[in-house]
């Protein structure tokens, strides 16, 4: 074997070896924890190796020519410039490789599209910029927000291990159960992706997409929104917590009870409202209006000293409940409970030097929403 | 020759108005190329902002909204301002000289096609200073993010796209009419240089898809200002429809940016291998096949929108098919080099790098075609790596190669070869430092278009940013080399042939090419 051949083969070996090493460092598509994700990983590796082989052959011939057929070595140019046979050969061989590749890809795809016989339905709704998970038959429904602090993002605090990939409420799923996802969005298009499940599906306003998974191992699997959805696109991670079936059953029963209790309208003290309001504000409002209420004018107005927060409380409630059309201000009436809205309005009127002194009550919000219908 | 005809053989007017009024294909070609260079530098500065912000995790320099404006404007300016006008500039300079025509067939339209562009880009650029900021919805401007949720400047973006589209369509009509009607006697279609062939096919693609782009932005305009609901589900519209229409334009657009590159590279590889191009006929057919296939693969950009299974399969198979004619082209270039007598001047270096790095981009494209695997790649940095490999060391390298190759013919001076080689090697190393690690961070799960990222992506992002800065600054060597050659006129005088045994009519006229060439058509044997 000549020098070029040897170097080509060793390059191939080196690339292969380094690639499997990279996989260990988490720099390759993960094998994942479902049968589909395993199939996808295998397809990925197969097509990758095919590409490597093609590249080595093509670049090998090129390198050989560059080394040996150079004028400075006295190479004389041949004059051949056509061969139908050769053209046919290098049309047919790639075609055959592609057919060979299409077969397993097709069967994996058919598997991925088989949404039948699901044991659990979860609706996933994309919002700017958070996910909402609704367990369709269980009366359990919650939002999942980024839990990384604004201070970490702005480099005022050390970044945690799961920086930008952590949420307040993960999607809890049972292992060994076929779960069907029904995906949609409330505002713009988002895309729900968990690499370990090999599930990536766009959530589109007005559409319901389907996807499914059957997780084999308990664990925490992280992903992100993968469709540009505005300023907070980088800040809506997906966290799936897969637990054994029994644990899931007790979790969902407990959640169902808690949520029923939370839906009741009760009286709250000013301090209670302020405390809850601060938490709600940090989760839902601070990404645009900032922790200190200074906003990012002109797109995201300041709430500190603002006409809304210091003006008529009904207008303030209206804008929180119904949003402001034509702007990024979403309608939170359908997303937050009445106590959450009452507390966040109260908080905004009395925080960061705003000292309006008045407050909204959950009953007031409920009455407002009832009138609004 | 009559006195009247001789009157028309004057040189160019003097001063600024020469450039405003000119109908000369060489002047217009130069202006297109300069516009492209300016856009390349502006788009490059935006890439600097993006890479500076992504140098380490956390937000350091810009807020996320401005970051999105930068990714959007970077894409739009590079696609519509740098790559496309650069190829139109090359077509203007080269198509008439290659087919033995005195000028483009429609010289006044040619003038207008060019002069629309500075206004289109002026309008697009001005959005950066508007209240609410520039377009921030990505260069693919998916509705409803680009309609109901867009900043007010979107309207200026729409008009800017309209104007660019008019310019492109007129330019394409001009290329087609010129090639069909103005070839020198004896220049049959199958004797046309490949650059002419690839541009002819590109021009048909442009005419087919630019109106589609105009249609889609007009529907956006209607949704935004006139209460229609083309893309608003709440009003009975369909946001997915936007993507179908956009990509029906968008995928052929990708080939609009690469087919002329195929032509350029074919010329250069054959010249410096001192060997005729291998498989001329199959090159022509492969180019035509790629162009036709480009109309039936658009939804591979949309594998995750929830297409029905059969649709998914159709677009997967048709996309995989594109690998066949593309492979033929690569094999032909390699075979052209095989048993040649190669030298490695700057244009050849860029052309060889084109073949290698474009092939890497093509192979990652093949991986992306496999729909189930694409669910893991889609909208990650793997895709960013893929299309930058086809567009930067692909389209851009071919343009740089073309400039080095034909510059002596254009200005009559040889460029500085040592600087050219520095430019090449710096660019070659930097482009790989920039874009190769993106494959890994994409596979590991980093989505594209995010201003901040999880900690495991930090090391590679830092490397990518260093590479990007190196690449950006390397282009200044090119700018200096151009300055030195064209303005300072340093460098030895170029011969008529410029390169040893170069084939083609453009090498039969003096260097620099006179203001008017081929007033008398040459005979092609």
Chain mean pLDDT for chain A: 88
Handedness of CA A166, A172, A176, A181 (dihedral sign): negative
Flag whether residue A233 sits within 8 Å of chain B, measured between CB atoms.
yes
Q: How far is A258 from chain B (nearest CA, A)?
A: 33
- Considering only CB atoms, B454 lies closest to which of A83, A163, A210, namely A163
Q: Cβ neighbours of residue A192 under 8 Å, at least 6 residues apart?
A: A124, A126, A131, A181, A183, A199, A200, A201, A202, A203, A211, A223, A225, A238
Confidence of residue B378 (pLDDT cuts 50, 70, 90): very high
According to DSSP, the residues that pair with A47 across neighbouring strands are: none
pLDDT at B9 over 70: no
pLDDT at B517 (0 to 100): 94
Q: Which residue of A has its CA nearest to B352?
A: A62
Confidence of residue B387 (pLDDT cuts 50, 70, 90): very high
Q: Which of B384, B374, B145 is nearest to A200 (CA)?
A: B374
Confidence of residue A24 (pLDDT cuts 50, 70, 90): very low
pLDDT at A6 (0 to 100): 54
Measured distance CA(A240)–CA(A258) in Å, rounded: 21
Q: Cβ neighbours of residue A263 under 8 Å, at least 6 residues apart?
A: A337
pLDDT at B5 (0 to 100): 45
Known catalytic residue at B108: no
DSSP run (H or E) holding B113: helix B107-126
pLDDT at A359 (0 to 100): 83
Q: Which residue of A has its CA nearest to B380?
A: A226
- Considering only CB atoms, B342 lies closest to which of A36, A70, A109, namely A70
Which CATH superfamily is A270-372 part of? Answer: Cytochrome c-like domain (1.10.760.10)
Measured distance CA(B224)–CA(B149) in Å, rounded: 10
pLDDT at A373 over 50: yes
Which tokens sit at B304?
């995750």
pLDDT at B2 (0 to 100): 42
pLDDT at B488 (0 to 100): 94
In chain B, what residues touch A88 (CB-CB under 8 Å)?
none
Any idea which residue has 């039936």 for tokens? Answer: B296
Which tokens sit at B15?
């001063």
Q: What is the pLDDT of residues B465-487, one digit of tens each?
A: 999 999 999 999 999 999 999 99
Q: Which of A354, A183, A192, A368 is nearest to A281 (CA)?
A: A354
In chain B, what residues touch A231 (CB-CB under 8 Å)?
63-65, 68, 136
pLDDT at A26 (0 to 100): 65
Q: What is the mean pLDDT of residues B334-354?
A: 96
pLDDT at B222 (0 to 100): 96
Q: What is the mean pLDDT of residues B145-160?
A: 95
Q: What is the pLDDT of residues B278-329, one digit of tens each?
A: 999 999 999 999 999 999 999 999 999 999 999 999 999 999 999 999 999 9
Q: Between these two residues, A287 and A150, which has the higher pLDDT value?
A: A150
Interhelix angle for B346-369 vs A35-68, to 10°? 160
Supply the DSSP string of A139-153, one letter for each residue. TEEEEE-B-S-HHHH
Q: Judged by CB atoms within 8 Å, which residues 354-413 of B form the interface with A? A: 355-356, 359-360, 363-364, 366-367, 370-373, 375-380
Q: What is the mean pLDDT of residues B144-150?
A: 93
Flag whether residue A115 sits within 8 Å of chain B, measured between CB atoms.
no
Q: Which residue of B has its CA nearest to A41?
A: B373
Q: What is the mean pLDDT of residues A193-197?
A: 96
Q: Which of B366, B352, B386 is nearest to B264 (CA)?
A: B352
Q: What is the mean pLDDT of residues A304-327?
A: 86
Flag whether residue A116 sits within 8 Å of chain B, measured between CB atoms.
no
Burial track A282-315 (b if 16+ CB lie within 10 A, e otherwise): bbbbbbbbbbebebbeebbbbbbebebbeeebee
- Count of C-beta atoms within a 10 Å radius of residue B57: 21
Chain mean pLDDT for chain B: 95
Q: Between these two residues, A293 and A327, which has the higher pLDDT value?
A: A293
pLDDT at A329 (0 to 100): 85
Contact B339 A78 (CB under 8 A): yes
In chain A, what residues touch B324 (CB-CB under 8 Å)?
91, 94-95, 98
Task: Among 3.30.565.10, 3.50.50.60, 1.20.210.10, 3.40.50.720, name the CATH number for the domain at B258-516.
Answer: 1.20.210.10
Which tokens sit at B246?
């956009």
Q: Cβ neighbours of residue A250 under 8 Å, at least 6 residues apart?
A: none
Q: What is the pLDDT of residues B390-447, one digit of tens each?
A: 999 999 999 999 999 999 999 999 999 999 999 999 999 999 999 999 999 999 999 9
Q: Judged by CB atoms within 8 Å, which residues 64-103 of A form the interface with B? A: 64-66, 69-72, 75-83, 86-87, 90-91, 94-95, 98, 101-102
pLDDT at A3 (0 to 100): 53
Q: What is the mean pLDDT of residues A63-75?
A: 93
Measured distance CA(B352)–CA(B350) in Å, rounded: 6
B385 three-class SS: helix
Q: What is the pLDDT of residues B91-111, one digit of tens each?
A: 999 999 999 999 999 999 999
Q: Indicate the domain borders of chain B.
A: 27-229, 258-516
Strands A171-174 and A237-243: parallel
Flag whether residue A170 sits within 8 Å of chain B, measured between CB atoms.
no
Contact B453 A113 (CB under 8 A): no
In chain A, what residues touch B144 (CB-CB under 8 Å)?
187-189, 205
Q: Which of B160, B266, B273, B465 is catalytic?
A: B266
Percent of chain B predicted with pLDDT > 70: 98
pLDDT at B262 (0 to 100): 97
Q: Indicate the domain borders of chain A.
A: 3-71+83-112, 120-262, 270-372
Flag whether residue A227 sits within 8 Å of chain B, measured between CB atoms.
yes
pLDDT at A11 (0 to 100): 54
Contact A91 B324 (CB under 8 A): yes
pLDDT at B224 (0 to 100): 95
Q: Are B24 and B107 in contact (CB under 8 A)?
A: yes
pLDDT at A14 over 80: no
Confidence of residue B356 (pLDDT cuts 50, 70, 90): very high
Burial track B407-432 (b if 16+ CB lie within 10 A, e otherwise): bbbbbbbbbbeebbebbbebbbebbb
pLDDT at A10 (0 to 100): 57
Q: What is the pLDDT of residues B21-39, one digit of tens each?
A: 999 999 999 999 999 999 9
Q: Cβ neighbours of residue B317 under 8 Å, at least 6 residues apart?
A: A102
Known catalytic residue at B139: yes
Query: Which CA distances in Å does A220 have to A27, A33, A163, B17, B276?
Result: 18, 11, 15, 67, 60
Confidence of residue B7 (pLDDT cuts 50, 70, 90): very low
Q: What is the pLDDT of residues B213-231, one digit of tens each?
A: 999 999 999 999 999 999 9
Measured distance CA(B117)–CA(B112) in Å, rounded: 9
Topology of domain A120-262 in CATH is Immunoglobulin-like (2.60.40)
Measured distance CA(A233)–CA(B69) in Å, rounded: 13
pLDDT at A56 over 50: yes
Domains B27-229 and B258-516 are alike in CATH topology = yes
pLDDT at B4 over 90: no
Contact A94 B323 (CB under 8 A): yes
Flag whether residue A186 sits within 8 Å of chain B, measured between CB atoms.
no
Q: Judged by CB atoms within 8 Å, which residues 236-295 of A form the interface with B? A: none
CATH class of B27-229: mainly alpha
Q: What is the mean pLDDT of residues B181-204?
A: 96
The strand ranges marked E within chain A are 120-127, 130-135, 140-144, 171-174, 179-185, 190-194, 199-203, 209-213, 219-225, 237-243
Give the ipTM of the model, two decimals please: 0.92
pLDDT at A25 (0 to 100): 52
pLDDT at A126 (0 to 100): 96
């Amino acid at each position: 074997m000549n020098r070029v051949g040897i170097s080509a083969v060793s390059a191939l070996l080196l690339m292969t070896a380094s690639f499997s090493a990279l996989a260990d460092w988490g720099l390759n598509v993960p094998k994942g924890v479902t049968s589909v994700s395993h199939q996808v990983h295998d397809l990925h590796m197969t097509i990758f190796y095919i590409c490597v082989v093609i590249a080595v052959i093509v670049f090998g011939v090129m390198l050989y020519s560059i080394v040996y057929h150079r004028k400075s070595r006295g190479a004389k140019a041949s004059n051949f410039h056509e061969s139908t046979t050769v053209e046919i050969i290098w049309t047919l061989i790639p075609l055959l490789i592609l057919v060979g590749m299409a077969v397993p890809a097709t069967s994996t795809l058919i598997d991925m599209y088989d949404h039948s016989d699901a044991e659990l339905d979860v609706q996933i709704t994309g919002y700017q910029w958070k996910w909402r998970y609704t367990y369709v038959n269980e009366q359990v429904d919650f939002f999942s927000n980024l839990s990384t602090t604004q201070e970490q993002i702005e480099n005022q605090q050390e970044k945690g291990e799961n920086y930008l990939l952590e949420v307040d409420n993960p999607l809890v799923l049972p292992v060994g159960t076929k779960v069907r996802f029904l995906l949609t969005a409330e505002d713009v298009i988002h895309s729900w992706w968990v690499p370990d499940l090999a599930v990536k599906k766009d959530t589109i306003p007005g559409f319901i997409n389907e996807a499914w998974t059957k997780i084999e191992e308990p664990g925490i699997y992280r992903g992100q929104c993968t469709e540009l959805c505005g300023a907070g696109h980088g800040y809506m991670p997906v966290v799936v917590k897969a637990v054994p079936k029994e644990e899931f059953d007790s979790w969902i029963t407990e959640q169902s009870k808690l949520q029923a209790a939370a839906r009741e309208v009760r009286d709250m003290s000013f301090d209670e409202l302020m405390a809850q309001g601060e938490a709600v504000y940090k989760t839902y409002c601070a990404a645009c209006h900032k922790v200190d209420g200074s906003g990012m004018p002109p797109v995201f107005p300041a709430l500190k000293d603002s006409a809304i927060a210091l003006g008529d409380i009904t207008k303030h409630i209206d804008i929180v409940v119904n949003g402001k059309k034509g702007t990024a201000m979403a309608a939170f009436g359908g997303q937050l409970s009445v106590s959450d809205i009452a507390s966040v309005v109260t908080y905004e009127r009395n925080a960061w030097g705003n000292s309006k002194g008045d407050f909204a009550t959950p009953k007031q919000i409920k009455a407002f929403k009832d009138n609004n219908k | 020759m009559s006195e009247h005809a001789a009157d028309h053989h004057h040189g160019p007017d003097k001063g600024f108005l020469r450039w405003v009024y000119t109908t000369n294909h060489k002047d217009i070609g130069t202006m297109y190329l300069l516009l492209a260079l300016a856009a390349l530098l502006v788009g490059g500065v935006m890439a600097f902002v993006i890479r500076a912000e992504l140098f380490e995790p956390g937000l350091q320099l810009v807020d996320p909204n401005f970051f999105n404006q930068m990714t959007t404007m970077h894409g739009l300016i590079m696609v519509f301002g740098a790559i496309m006008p650069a190829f139109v500039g090359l077509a203007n300079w080269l198509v008439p000289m290659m087919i033995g025509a005195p000028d483009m067939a429609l010289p006044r339209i040619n003038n207008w096609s060019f002069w629309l562009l500075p206004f289109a880009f002026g309008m697009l650029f001005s959005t950066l200073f508007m209240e609410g900021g520039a377009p921030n919805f990505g260069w693919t401007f998916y509705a409803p993010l680009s309609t109901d949720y867009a900043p007010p400047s979107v309207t200026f973006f729409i008009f800017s796209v309209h104007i660019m589209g008019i310019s492109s369509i007129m330019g394409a009509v001009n290329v087609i009419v010129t090639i069909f009607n103005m070839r020198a006697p004896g220049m049959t279609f199958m004797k046309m240089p490949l650059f002419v062939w690839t541009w002819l096919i590109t021009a048909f693609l442009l005419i087919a898809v630019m109106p589609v782009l105009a249609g889609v932005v007009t529907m956006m305009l209607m949704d935004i200002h006139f209460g229609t609901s083309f893309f608003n589900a709440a009003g009975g519209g369909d946001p997915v429809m936007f993507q179908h229409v956009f990509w029906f334009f968008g995928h052929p657009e990708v080939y609009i940016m690469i087919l002329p590159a195929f032509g350029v590279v074919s010329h250069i590889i054959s010249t410096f291998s001192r060997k005729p191009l291998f498989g001329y006929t199959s090159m022509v057919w492969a180019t035509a096949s790629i162009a036709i296939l480009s109309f039936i693969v658009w939804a591979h950009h949309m594998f995750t929108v929830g297409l029905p299974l059969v649709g998914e399969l159709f677009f997967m198979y048709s996309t995989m098919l594109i690998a066949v004619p593309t492979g033929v082209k690569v094999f032909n270039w390699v075979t052209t080099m095989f048993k040649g007598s190669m030298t490695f001047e700057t244009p050849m270096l860029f052309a060889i790098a084109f073949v290698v790095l474009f092939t890497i981009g093509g192979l990652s494209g093949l991986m992306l075609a496999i729909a189930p695997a694409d669910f893991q790649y889609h909208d990650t940095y793997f895709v960013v790596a893929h299309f930058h490999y086809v567009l930067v060391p692909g389209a851009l390298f071919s343009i740089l190669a073309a400039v080095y190759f034909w510059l002596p013919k254009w200005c009559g001076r040889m460029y500085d070869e040592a600087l050219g080689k520095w430019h090449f090697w710096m660019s070659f190393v930097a482009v790989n430092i920039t874009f190769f690690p993106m494959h890994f961070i994409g596979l590991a799960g980093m989505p594209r278009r995010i201003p901040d990222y999880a900690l495991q992506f930090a090391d590679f992002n830092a490397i990518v940013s260093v590479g990007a800065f190196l690449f950006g600054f390397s282009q200044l060597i090119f700018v200096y080399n151009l300055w030195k050659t064209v303005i300072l006129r340093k460098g030895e005088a170029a011969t008529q042939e410029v390169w040893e045994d170069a084939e083609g009519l453009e090498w039969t006229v003096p260097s620099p090419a006179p203001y008017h060439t081929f007033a008398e058509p040459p005979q092609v044997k």
